């Protein structure tokens, strides 16, 4: 069974759209959003996946057999899947069979993760791209929960892992540079993206974030889904 987020109408949050950020931005893909998270970022835009003080679990989560999830994914006819959350690796042992099944059908996989859990070997083998998003001080999570050196090292060794940082203020870039140096994160696999849930916020921050990327040799990513659709669920 997988605990999947629900869309506002109650259907599972399995939908077809464009990848909104990171190295494959703009790619048509199916999204599978899994519920629950082990962090609590102040600016999280998917709090309905984990914040049970403000959302009702039964309204927001549906438990589904993996075969049913697989059939919903296949129905879109798009062999590119982004597994996101919440923190999808909290359910990774339940994901391995689904991923192996779809891999045999030629799927390309991305996983969005907060970089606090080491992938099990079956997923490390089958996932093509890891969008690892270690959280900075601006997330409000304690350091010992948001930065786990041995987990970052595991991802550093996976060639398909990118390190995606959400930056709010210019000083966040200094924190990213310090992490790059301390944990030897490859510069060419670091992606900065501006925090923001409105077009105005994203555009304002894009100016200095893009300049920082030029200076440091990082990749820049906008938040395409915000620019196209605003802060809408299921898009
Ligand atoms: S790790 Fe991701 S899903 Fe979890 S609280 Fe932070 S932004 Fe939200």
Domain annotation covers residue 191 = no
Pocket test for ligand 1, best of 21, 22, 36, 39 (most atoms within 8 A of CB): 39
Q: Whose CA is nearest to atom 8 of ligand 1?
A: 44
Domain annotation covers residue 178 = yes
Residue 7: give its domain's CATH number.
3.20.20.70
CA 111 from centroid of its chain's CA atoms: 6
Number of structural domains found in the chain: 1
Domain ranges, residue 77: 2-186
Domain annotation covers residue 197 = no
User: Angle at Cα 128 formed by Cα 26 and Cα 162, nearest 5°?
Assistant: 70
For 67-119, write each residue's pLDDT tens digit: 999 999 999 999 999 999 999 999 999 999 999 999 999 999 999 999 999 99
- Overall average pLDDT of the 208-215 stretch: 97
**What's the pLDDT at 197?**
87
Any atom of ligand 1 within 6 Å of the Cβ of 194: no
Domain annotation covers residue 223 = no
**What's the pLDDT at 68?**
98
Domain annotation covers residue 216 = no
Residue 28 pairs with which residues in a beta bridge?
Answer: 18
Domain annotation covers residue 234 = no
Domain annotation covers residue 41 = yes
**What's the pLDDT at 95?**
98
Ligand 1 mean position to 43 CA, how many Å? Answer: 8
Q: Label each residue of 117-181 as H, E or C.
A: CCCCHHHHHHCCEEEECCCCHHHCCCHHHHCCHHHHHHHHCCCCEEEEEEECCHHHHHHHHHHHH
For 189-201, write each residue's pLDDT tens digit: 999 999 998 999 9
Domain annotation covers residue 217 = no
Please give the Cα distance from 146 to 157 (Å, whole number). 19
If you average pLDDT over every residue of the chain, what do you get? 96
Terminal CA-to-CA distance of the chain, rounded, Å? 24
pLDDT band at 233 (very low <50, low <70, confident <90, very high): low
**What's the pLDDT at 234?**
64
For 83, the enclosing helix (H) or strand (E) is strand 80-84
Any atom of ligand 1 within 6 Å of the Cβ of 114: yes
How many residues make up the chain in this entry?
235
Any atom of ligand 1 within 6 Å of the Cβ of 154: no
């Amino acid at each position: 069974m997988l605990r999947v987020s629900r869309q506002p109408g109650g259907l599972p949050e399995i939908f077809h759209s464009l990848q909104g950020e990171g190295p494959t931005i703009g790619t048509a893909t199916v999204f599978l959003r899994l519920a629950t998270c082990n962090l609590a970022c102040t600016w999280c835009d998917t709090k309905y996946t984990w914040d049970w003080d403000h959302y009702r679990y039964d309204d927001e989560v549906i438990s589904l057999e993996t075969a049913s999830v697989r059939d919903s994914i296949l129905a879109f006819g798009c062999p590119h899947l982004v597994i996101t959350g919440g923190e999808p690796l909290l359910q990774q042992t339940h994901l391995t069979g689904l991923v192996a099944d779809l891999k045999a059908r030629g799927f390309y996989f991305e996983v969005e993760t907060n970089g606090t859990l080491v992938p099990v070997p079956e997923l490390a083998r089958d996932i093509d791209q890891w969008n690892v998003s270690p959280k900075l001080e601006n997330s409000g999570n304690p350091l010992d929960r948001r930065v786990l050196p041995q987990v970052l090292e595991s991802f550093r060794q996976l060639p398909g892992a990118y390190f995606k940082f959400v930056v709010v203020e210019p000083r966040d870039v200094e924190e990213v540079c310090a992490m790059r140096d301390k944990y030897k994160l490859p510069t060419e696999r670091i992606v900065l993206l501006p925090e923001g849930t409105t077009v105005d916020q994203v555009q304002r921050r894009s100016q200095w974030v893009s300049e920082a990327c030029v200076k440091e040799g990082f990749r820049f990513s906008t938040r395409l889904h915000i620019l196209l659709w605003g802060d809408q669920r299921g898009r």
